[in-house]
Structure 1
């Protein structure tokens, strides 16, 4: 499309002009037309991204895209979880005002599709987009909340289940997952070992986790005027998501009279998810709230046991129609707790999966309703309750306003569970005392308003102490949060430029702590001396960073692999899944302990010495050489020759514990990673927003806005935009 465009909206004229890296400034007289314009631009620039979410979310990828085995497996999973059906059932829960916004947005999307040429990706597979509907908006919100967030929580709970099923000592399980406070009884272990269908319905290495945006981890923080050089609220966000082209985020400015929104949206949803208005700023990180549980159900002849009664399973049939293939019929069985993992072919114990956003419908619609009010809210104290109603996903929301208030709110549908239980072990479906009893009142969830030190930080760390309940049972380590706090307290007054430096600070607090144990044990060898002199910063040219990583990984494999879960399992967990990336802090607490049941009678020093010997003997190169990846086109996934320009070469500098995370893992047989795909800083001394992003507005490889901004993102250069 042209760099400047005028279109007709719902009520009037909309003027759109391209800003830096192609992202739009959308201006209209009526607010409703801003959402029409946003929908139009989402479709014009991100059509493939939007319809991939829709097609996969509806379980029709093998029918409409490619009938490969992994696409068929993806369809089976999505038909099983049925988020699309839930989205359709929630449309009527949109309030009247939100429905007007959603309808305007959908009209804009469909107009944008008609005005645009069919993308190369869809021409290759013979697909033409259908209408975008309110149900598609809600499905997009549900997919954002589930993929990489609630799904990762479920993966870890399944990992714990399988550890116990395979005979791992309960003492080891409880030490690795310290939020398990209840006793792991021999009776429970016996039941777990007899449970059938224990494997996930889908492998963690299939296409849906590669093709869909992965919302994992993040940092954000806000500083009150007492700590800000300008005397105004200073606000920062850097969500860490899956690296892909185009970027998951889509920056936009919406302006109608005195009303304006500036920040990042996700194509498919009419909302600025991270950003600010004239009065209020907001941003999110993954809140590690436990929305899911597994129930062990006693199944006999198509019925499940409840106390002394046997109730019929609810059965839903789904038919998948792969291209040029025979239809596949699925029979999906449910109990009142959740969905069974596969159709039970024999009597006995089977697992069901309970997910709060499925059991208590309305989360996506409620969230759209709340967002519509948030955009007009002016103060943090009034906004906290609205953010608590963003129940589509377990997010930590931080807030700041023009009056100098700052705050934090955890949002999500946290189910009320039996007292004294962690939610990390399976419940017994036949015992009514194990049932959920509704959703915990959001006023009991962690919340902060105007702390005395003038700083609020979230980095997926444990924030349970700020609430009346403990919804976080798998928080990530506090390395990043602690490092951010250290930097914020080093200076009396802070500026946007200082915030930008913190965004790119690759000093490792994890390495600082581990090196206190490692350094005295290092040999007087060349590699030992390099590591001894290392400044604990991850830079492209650092050999010390490579040596530390070698030793750390050898230590993990030794303690948790060879002496614990098995070498093959721990190597698979390290390289092929997100599990270790999300729970590495749990492993670290054990490795740093003076003693542990995982040490199998050896001392910590003996284990560290062995890991040091192995790590220093491994091949050594500068850190950047070990971190070379490609940021791939989300549709083609690196299948095309690199010289065609669909992908971007990148040295992913950092670690699991640096402020800019640099996680690497494999999924669906391909290299994956997540990083700070968006960095945003705003000082309420003005309406300016400083940002950089990994990629430009367009999803079209042949657009000048496809890779726009990549060099700025790598080099730490921020661009300024304002309404």
Structure 2
């Protein structure tokens, strides 16, 4: 009897909890989601915002000014907290909302001076670009003035968004350029290895370049133990900001290679996975303006996509636009051109939630900020950074103004003139059948003896000699083979007059080779073929290591059996493949070979391992075995660790939120899904070697059909909305996982919601 009563009480409590939960859910949903239907009154304009069932947005405006005003409103509706967080990152103001735990990140960001660079760059833009940014900012502020429901993150962190300023737009462009410019970390790696006692020749073996003439050794003075500690500390600091820009693909086929006899263009930028999505799909339409594609919340315009005349896609050029300079200090200055030059001091005040403000002084030089001050290693030589993104005349955003309205190759090239930082490959196609590729950016010329691989003396002897002239930047228009592609590989021929500028670091050419292999595998390609190519997970990394596998001599029976299975494998890194799991784990295991010298748990230079297996290596000699014996041992040890799961069981795309992931709401906010691929497949599936979780990949895919623009396709993961309780928070994720796409339409699209923006009537 008592148990029956207790049971009823428990059932009653459960019902009460469920009822409170349901009521709380609907209350939160109503109080945090924006208005997307009906009429929204605000200070401004009368325009229409249409939303497809997928959340894709179409803005129909009467003028370009009104168009960007409305784009600011829509971005704020769907991604307000994301935009606010992004501008706080750029301004080094995370401690204001997250407390002292992120103070080091803010110090790093303030030292680099992204926000100061953003303010200076705004002044250099054309009146047209400024007008678009001003309209966009005014739209965000007009939306904030309506006192809209705020995303849940603002409530949890206890703050409200401030009004928007033009520099808030500019600073996110600076942060993206910072992520594109990745050479500083490899310079620090080499500097660290040098300070560890390794020779230049050994470092070149561990971090091999593209085949060719070895660069000269840099004229560095003796590197000390303190410099090693400083380099290590700076690399650890860099790890606080995971480099999101890892890889990207784009390619374009001319009409002779397509079933429609018109070009096809594909692009899939591989960036860090996260919540919300980096991109937001949008169609912008006004008189003489009709553009659709991927937009970046926090910045106006379409960044990747098409208009009615042309289509374009982008990848990281992987060029070296950063240099570290070792300063020789003298009293309160540093030696430069045989004179003592005083530091310019910039004072930064960082507000910290629940703590007193922190004041820091940043030293500026002729090169840029002294970035080593942020780690404060006594006895180490200061390191100053020169970066094209710090230049005050950065007109990069003007490139997108012109690109969105370009009608032909001439217009497209004119847009490229504005692009400054950091460096991008743009591929191009137009409705008349032309295709092209332009490597855009302000790219430094270095004097002989300066390879860009190591920090250089900051005495004025190794300053940049200017920039590659615009007309001499790599560019191709209607090439004889009638196709073009880029995959972060070296794109210049051997006789290019600036031979080192793209050779700063070796990017394995597996993706590039596989793309060309697929292009040449058939005479004609359809749009469906392009989709298939984007989803390809065949690993040329595996194929390059297959001869090594043939020569392995594992001692365990299981190792011998799996060697045969791997040799029979087709190299497709699919989610259901056990062979993929064994190969990936074995490959990671090889990285232990370099740990005694590098101190790194994992080493991402496959050419080093291939050379070691084929030619031998001093690291194997130190172990008193051949490199093939070492690789055989690794295979036995790998197989002894576990019962082999399918690759997708281990390798899951992990989408995490920058704040909610660290709260009890993580189980509601975060997502993990099984996927295939690895770092070197065309459908990239780069992962954290500690747990095999995929942390970067295709954050956007598009395939554009120049024969029928309305037959184009695009997709991005998660969803259009950044609101946790929105039905469009993650509704695109299953499509992205399966390799499905949304129609990229500017007409005849389904409309699920219609919102009329109208002026406030006094």
- Say if 1:505 and 1:142 are closer, same or farther in 2 by CA, change over 3 A: same
Q: Give the aligned partner of residue 584 of structure 1.
A: 605
Matches within 5 A, 1:157-168: 157-168=187-198
Q: Give the aligned partner of residue 54 of structure 2.
A: 21
Q: How much has 1:6 moved relative to structure 2?
A: 5.8
Q: How much has 1:204 moved relative to structure 2?
A: 3.8
**How far, CA to CA, are the matches of 1:195 and 1:520 in structure 2?**
42
Q: How much has 1:214 moved relative to structure 2?
A: 2.4
* Match status 1:439 vs 2:467: yes
- Say if 1:521 and 1:203 are closer, same or farther in 2 by CA, change over 3 A: closer
- Say if 1:140 and 1:479 are closer, same or farther in 2 by CA, change over 3 A: same
Q: How much has 1:465 moved relative to structure 2?
A: 2.3
Query: How many positions carry a matched residue from both structures?
Result: 696
Q: Give the aligned partner of residue 172 of structure 1.
A: 202
Equivalent position SS for 2:98 = coil
**How far, CA to CA, are the matches of 1:429 and 1:674 in structure 2?**
35
Q: Give the aligned partner of residue 514 of structure 1.
A: 545
1:282 and 1:399 in contact (8 A); partners too: yes
Select which of 539, 543, 548 maps to 2:578. Answer: 543
Q: Give the aligned partner of residue 58 of structure 1.
A: 91
Q: Give the aligned partner of residue 158 of structure 2.
A: 126
1:10 and 1:36 in contact (8 A); partners too: no
1:291-322 Cα distance to aligned partner (Å, 9 max, x none): 11111111122111124322212221212121
* Match status 1:683 vs 2:705: yes
1:145 and 1:393 in contact (8 A); partners too: yes
1:218 and 1:460 in contact (8 A); partners too: yes
Matches within 5 A, 1:540-579: 540-558=575-593, 560-562=594-596, 564-565=597-598, 569-571=599-601, 574=602
Equivalent position SS for 1:239 = strand
Q: How much has 1:711 moved relative to structure 2?
A: 0.7
- Say if 1:672 and 1:123 are closer, same or farther in 2 by CA, change over 3 A: farther
Higher alpha-carbon deviation: 130-139 or 73-82:
130-139
**How far, CA to CA, are the matches of 1:121 and 1:356 in structure 2?**
34
Q: Give the aligned partner of residue 577 of structure 1.
A: none
- Say if 1:606 and 1:374 are closer, same or farther in 2 by CA, change over 3 A: same
Q: How much has 1:529 moved relative to structure 2?
A: 3.3
Q: How much has 1:94 moved relative to structure 2?
A: 1.6
2:69 and 2:135 in contact (8 A); partners too: yes
1:15-71 Cα distance to aligned partner (Å, 9 max, x none): 1111242121111222222211211111000111111111121111112x11132x1
Q: Which has the higher contact order (CA 8 A, sep 6+)?
A: 2
1:300 and 1:348 in contact (8 A); partners too: no
Matches within 5 A, 1:188-227: 188=220, 190-191=222-223, 195=227, 198-199=230-231, 204=236, 209=241, 214-227=244-257
Equivalent position SS for 1:248 = coil
Give unmatched runs, 5+ long, in structure 2: 1-33, 747-762
- Say if 1:356 and 1:488 are closer, same or farther in 2 by CA, change over 3 A: same
Select which of 290, 304, 323 maps to 2:353. Answer: 323
1:197 and 1:351 in contact (8 A); partners too: no
1:10 and 1:104 in contact (8 A); partners too: no
Give unmatched runs, 5+ long, in structure 1: 575-579
**How far, CA to CA, are the matches of 1:47 and 1:329 in structure 2?**
29
Equivalent position SS for 2:209 = coil
**How far, CA to CA, are the matches of 1:254 and 1:5 in structure 2?**
20
* Match status 1:102 vs 2:133: yes
* Match status 1:414 vs 2:443: yes
- Say if 1:368 and 1:630 are closer, same or farther in 2 by CA, change over 3 A: closer
1:106-154 Cα distance to aligned partner (Å, 9 max, x none): 111222333431111011112111121211111111111113x22x321
Q: Give the aligned partner of residue 486 of structure 2.
A: 458
Q: How much has 1:347 moved relative to structure 2?
A: 7.3
* Match status 1:640 vs 2:664: yes
Q: Give the aligned partner of residue 594 of structure 1.
A: 615
2:510 and 2:540 in contact (8 A); partners too: yes
**How far, CA to CA, are the matches of 2:532 and 2:442 in structure 1?**
35
* Match status 1:704 vs 2:727: yes
Q: How much has 1:595 moved relative to structure 2?
A: 4.1
**How far, CA to CA, are the matches of 1:626 and 1:284 in structure 2?**
31
**How far, CA to CA, are the matches of 2:215 and 2:306 in structure 1?**
43
1:235 and 1:281 in contact (8 A); partners too: yes
**How far, CA to CA, are the matches of 1:100 and 1:356 in structure 2?**
25
1:5 and 1:15 in contact (8 A); partners too: no
Q: How much has 1:442 moved relative to structure 2?
A: 2.7
Cα RMSD over matched residues?
2.7
1:229 and 1:493 in contact (8 A); partners too: yes
Select which of 515, 518, 531 maps to 2:566. Answer: 531
Matches within 5 A, 1:81-100: 81-100=112-131
Matches within 5 A, 1:466-477: 467-469=496-498, 470-472=500-502, 473-477=504-508
Equivalent position SS for 1:354 = strand
1:547 and 1:615 in contact (8 A); partners too: yes
**How far, CA to CA, are the matches of 2:251 and 2:741 in structure 1?**
18
Larger radius of gyration: 2
Q: Give the aligned partner of residue 169 of structure 2.
A: 137
- Say if 1:428 and 1:570 are closer, same or farther in 2 by CA, change over 3 A: same
Select which of 47, 67, 72 maps to 2:80. Answer: 47
* Match status 1:383 vs 2:417: no
**How far, CA to CA, are the matches of 1:9 and 1:453 in structure 2?**
54
* Match status 1:399 vs 2:428: yes
- Say if 1:290 and 1:593 are closer, same or farther in 2 by CA, change over 3 A: farther
Equivalent position SS for 2:352 = coil
Q: Give the aligned partner of residue 674 of structure 1.
A: 696
2:651 and 2:694 in contact (8 A); partners too: no
- Say if 1:382 and 1:164 are closer, same or farther in 2 by CA, change over 3 A: same
1:98 and 1:368 in contact (8 A); partners too: yes
Q: How much has 1:471 moved relative to structure 2?
A: 2.3
**How far, CA to CA, are the matches of 2:378 and 2:233 in structure 1?**
17
**How far, CA to CA, are the matches of 1:281 and 1:228 in structure 2?**
16
2:273 and 2:654 in contact (8 A); partners too: no
- Say if 1:55 and 1:246 are closer, same or farther in 2 by CA, change over 3 A: same
Q: Give the aligned partner of residue 351 of structure 1.
A: 383
Q: How much has 1:671 moved relative to structure 2?
A: 6.5
Equivalent position SS for 2:305 = strand
Equivalent position SS for 1:537 = coil
Equivalent position SS for 2:373 = coil
1:629-684 Cα distance to aligned partner (Å, 9 max, x none): 531223323533554x21112123211111111112289x9966001121111101
Equivalent position SS for 1:262 = strand
Q: TM-score, normalised by structure 1?
A: 0.90
Select which of 476, 499, 502 maps to 1:448. Answer: 476
Equivalent position SS for 1:281 = strand
* Match status 1:293 vs 2:323: yes
Q: How much has 1:3 moved relative to structure 2?
A: 4.5
Equivalent position SS for 1:398 = strand
2:189 and 2:231 in contact (8 A); partners too: no
